[in-house]
């Protein structure tokens, strides 16, 4: 593996691990904590989290890692070697399990939560449904991020 490819794969491994860790934290204790709050407070807290998450630092790590995955997949295909299957697996896991799930699963739920009036009739039921579904998709992102990091780590050792 060339030094440049090593550097890109290492950066992707770190990025995937950081993202997987963020999602793991949300699944393991942030969402359960929000769900322990009175419904109106949980809704308001999640609305605030969703606004705060869309900041350059988080978006750079999330979509920067996705860009690195695209580079690694292309590089692996063009210069096939023993690390190529691992690079492709890591890239696919991150792009499908993190980015696609975020766009197709979590963001629409975030948008629905943003539209809730925390004190409106039916908000509590909607919050319960949204929190359950959001957390389920978030589990997928946590596992995919960790698995992508692991695949990139294996690629670095091949």
Q: What is the pLDDT along the chain (158 residues), one digit of tens a residue?
A: 899 999 999 999 999 999 999 999 999 999 999 999 999 999 999 999 999 999 999 999 999 999 999 999 999 999 999 999 999 999 999 999 999 999 999 999 999 999 999 999 999 999 999 999 999 999 999 999 999 999 999 999 99
Domain containing 89 equals: 3-157
In angstroms, the CA 29 to CA 107 distance is 20
Helical segments of 29-78, H only = 31-36, 39-53, 56-78
- Residue pLDDT, tens place only, 104-118: 999 999 999 999 999
Q: Domain tally for the chain?
A: 1
Residue 29 DSSP one-character state: I
Given this model, what pLDDT does residue 19 score? 98
């Amino acid at each position: 593996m060339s030094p440049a490819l090593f550097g890109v794969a290492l950066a992707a491994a770190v990025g995937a691990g950081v993202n997987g860790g963020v999602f793991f934290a949300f699944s393991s204790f942030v969402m359960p904590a929000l769900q322990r709050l009175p419904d109106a407070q949980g809704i308001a807290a999640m609305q605030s989290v969703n606004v705060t998450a869309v900041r350059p630092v988080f978006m750079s790590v999330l979509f920067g890692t996705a860009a690195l995955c695209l580079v690694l997949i292309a590089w692996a295909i063009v210069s096939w070697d023993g690390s190529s299957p691992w690079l492709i697996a890591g890239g696919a896991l991150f792009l499908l399990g993190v980015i696609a799930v975020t766009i197709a699963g979590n963001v629409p739920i975030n948008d629905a939560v943003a539209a809730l009036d925390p004190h409106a009739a039916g908000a509590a039921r909607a919050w319960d449904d949204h929190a359950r579904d959001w957390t389920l998709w978030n589990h997928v992102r946590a596992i995919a991020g960790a698995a992508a990091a692991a695949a990139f780590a294996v690629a670095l050792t091949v």
